[in-house]
Amino acid sequence: MDIVRIISAVLLPPLGVFLQVGLGLHFWLNILLTLLGYIPGIVHAVWIIARR
């Protein structure tokens, strides 16, 4: 299942975070990072998925 989350994190970072933690602080932070730049959103999403 982590492979699906990582692939979704690369394609759409907030979706990968949502699949991992739901509608929490990390989800909203990832949306903000993705809006500021796509790469920071991907890095944050992969970090959240790998950490848990």
Decide if pLDDT at 50 tops 90.
yes
Report whether pLDDT(47) > 80: yes
Tokens matching residue 12: 């759409």
Confidence of residue 32 (pLDDT cuts 50, 70, 90): very high
CB contact at 8 A, 8 and 16: yes
Q: What is the pTM of this model?
A: 0.90
Residue with more model confidence, 5 or 52: 5
Contacts of 40 (CB under 8 A, 6+ apart): 33, 34
Whole-number Å distance between alpha carbons of 32 and 40: 10
